[in-house]
Structures are given as structure tokens and as C-alpha cells.
Structure 1
């Protein structure tokens, strides 16, 4: 039997790096619309909802066909609110799903193949958790802290590799897709543990908008693709 999948787009009104970024126009439509449009193409998502406390964001999401079954409580929309709390709240409001998918609106270049690929990996491998990652641009094997005025390697190695291709590949979370079995997420209260499966995405689709420069880069990529 096909599993029931709830997809949540979390979008609060307060944002520091880029004010009102969730509804800022990006290449002709609001930032949040890029995520809504791709999620609606999914062959796995049963129900797509928005979690927001902001009336303007709610109206924009509805215009683009995203369901808004509740208004997020203000105490779950603060700067210090842990990211998992609105997800757990949404699960309580919309029960009886097998999987939950978190789609942050700050990943406008992520497409339906990425969304469905991550969900598919979780289902096929019977994984409790699966998240999207991309190969890190800068290797942690070349990173240092400074102790007593001297460089101290972040990762101890017998010999420092000179060429990048001699280093093990490393990956970073790109914030684009988070998938979990609902019962496992309610228990763990995190998408990340030692059993989380990685879904690898290309760097070009892994931009996470946090600054005005990120907005310009993503706009340029969209306009020239």
C-alpha cells in the first residue's frame, strides 16, 4: 500500500538576513512559490501544507495552491524557536501520515526530482530518516582552529594532503529536503542521527538563501538556465 506523505513548508514572517525573504520576488515570483510549485508535482506527497504565523505569507501560499490548515502559534515563530518544533506541531494538527517531508522555502533551486528522490530512498530502504546533502566545496581536512596563536588541524592526520583529489569526499547538509517516518520523528525529535540516510544533490541545486548575495546568485542561475 502506498504510504501517506505529509509535506510541510515552514515560513515565518521574521527573517534577519533578508527581510520578508519568504515572499520576496525571485526571478518573477515569490521565493516560497518555487518550493510550492515543485512540491505540487510530486508523485509521493499526499498533502502539502504551509506552517506560518504571518497573514501575508499565508495569502501568497494560498494563491499558489498550497493548503494552510492552521495558523502557527506565535510562540513557535520566534528567532529562538528550534526548527523541529513547528514540524512536530504540524504533525499534531495533521495526523495519520506515514512520512513527513520538510521543505524549506529557502531552497528555490531544488526540484521535484530531488524531492521525490529523497522520499523514494527513504521508502525503498525502509529508512526512518533521509536528508539531502551536497559535496562540500571546502574540505574539512583543510580546516583549522587557532590555538595559542598557531594553526591546529580540525581533523588530525598523519600527513596533510596537498591535492584535493587525495582527500576523502565530505558532504554538508544543504537544507533542501528532510524526510522521516512520522513515528520515528516524534520519538527522536530530530531528522539527524547515525542512521540517517543521505540523498546526494548537485551543488548547483543546493543553494540555501540566507543573504542578499544568495538571492542574487539564485536569480542569476534561474535566469540563465
Structure 2
């Protein structure tokens, strides 16, 4: 609990993955990928319950072995390539409400950002509680590539007007800082998420993470980068 308010963590973990098959339970430095996220939630000072939502029995069995609950198998209708994660979250919330009633906060942690830790989980909860204007918190990190230095290309491949003339000669350090969604921690007041069915609303505030904690594993290159980070604790 945080200030007498209950926190539910939902870990969403589909069985299907095209970029890196079986990635949610693929061993990373001798431990299944999902275990890192379960441990971050388990080590939090504030999280009250951890539920894994998955359509895969292998993921369910792994999650339970590492200390999470997996009290249901996610319906196939919520586990397809085009299924919305928000619907899976609402399904988990409905299950919890039917069993024991509503919580105060719902937090979603995805297994594909394994390097986010309990300190970040707790910091996001503290940021939400301390900000009277906030209903939700979403992690962001600095863009890997500045968006002003990117553009679409015509069929001719001409780079005329590819970069605004006003910034062509500027160094990256002279450009305004831009951020991209990380999603290593997604957090909302329970009823606010029910109403908006999204973590990104007019009442959402950012929590700034870094490239390490915000690493999202989508393919083998990302997986190998996670190994580099784990082998080099001081690398950000």
C-alpha cells in the first residue's frame, strides 16, 4: 500500500511473438525474461498484488514459479496480434473486482522491459501520489534519434527539404530535447483507467527514465543489448 491505497500490478504477457519467438520466457542471463519484471514488482515497497495475464500455459507456469499469481488464462479474443492491451487490462481488473473488489491504483508492467527495477516502480507511485493534478503516470525517455533529423522520402529519393534549413547546421546539443514513450511503468488511478481505458490522458504526467531502464526487447538485437547492460551495471 501507499498512503493506505492498494496497488495492483498486471503483467501482460502474450505467448505469441514474431520478432523474437518465446521472448517472454526466453532465458536472459540464466533467468526467464518475465522473472525480472516479477521481481521488480515483488521488491516494491508499495505493490499489494501481482497478476500475470497470459494466453500461454508455459508463461503462466513460469510466472507462478517466480512468485506472481496467474489465476486465469487470458481469452483468445484478447490475445491476438491486433488485440488491444487495454482490453486485457480491463479483463484482469474485472476478475480482481469480482474476487475482492476494486483497488486504488492499477499498474501495468510488461516483461519486455526487464531492466526497470523496484526503485522505479516505487518512484512512479510516489510521483502520482504527490501530484494532485495527476491521474496517471507514464514513463518516457529521451529519443534515440532526434525527430527533426528524420523525414519521409519521395519515390525519387531526393533529399530536397529533408531537413529544415534552419536546423541543418545545428548540432544535436543545440536542438530542443525530445522524448519518446517508454512504457516501462504505466500507472493510473483505478477508476480513471476504467473511464478513459488508456494510460495516456489529459491527466497523465511523465516520469523520466533512461535508455537502460526503458529498453524494450522486440528482437534479438534488443535481447543482446539487455545482456550487455546486465554485464555492465554502470552503463546507461
TM-score, reference length from structure 2: 0.89
For residues 140 and 120 of structure 2, what CA distance do their matches in structure 1 show? 11
Matched residue SS, 2:62: helix
Q: Could you tell me how far apart the structure 2 residues matched to 1:155 and 1:65 are?
A: 51
Which residue does 2:55 correspond to in 1?
53
Paired position in structure 1 for 2:140 = 133
- The separation in 2 between residues aligned to 1:7 and 1:60, in whole angstroms, is 17
Which of 75, 88, 91 does residue 90 from structure 2 map onto?
Answer: 88
Shift of 1:181: 0.8
SS, match of residue 203 in structure 1? coil
Matched with 1:185 is 193
How many residues are treated as equivalent by the alignment?
A: 225
* 1:143 maps to 2:145: no
> Matched residues in 2 for 1:197 and 1:152: separation?
38
CA apart distance, 1:153: 6.4
Task: Please give the secondary structure, in 1, of the residue aligned with 2:20.
Answer: coil
Q: Which runs of 4+ in 1 moved over 6 A?
A: 152-157
Task: Find the residue that maps to 2:72 and give its secondary structure.
Answer: coil
1:194 — aligned with what?
202
Q: State the Cα deviation string for residues 61-97 of structure 1 (Å, max 9, x = none).
A: 0000101122211111111101211111111111211
SS of residue paired to 2:206: strand
Matching residue of 1:117: 123
> Is 1:105 matched with 2:111?
yes
Residue 122 of structure 1 aligns to a residue whose secondary structure is: helix
What is the CA–CA distance in structure 2 between the aligned matches of 1:97 and 1:56, rounded to whole Å? 28
**Alignment RMSD:** 1.8
> CA 1:30 to 1:159, structure 2 compared with 1: closer, same or farther past 3 Å?
closer
1:152 shift after superposition? 7.2
Give the structure 2 partner of residue 24 of structure 1.
26
Aligned equivalents of 1:152, 1:194: Cα separation in 2: 37
Report whether the alignment pairs 1:163 with 2:171: yes
Whole-angstrom CA distance in 1 between matches of 2:165 and 2:109: 37
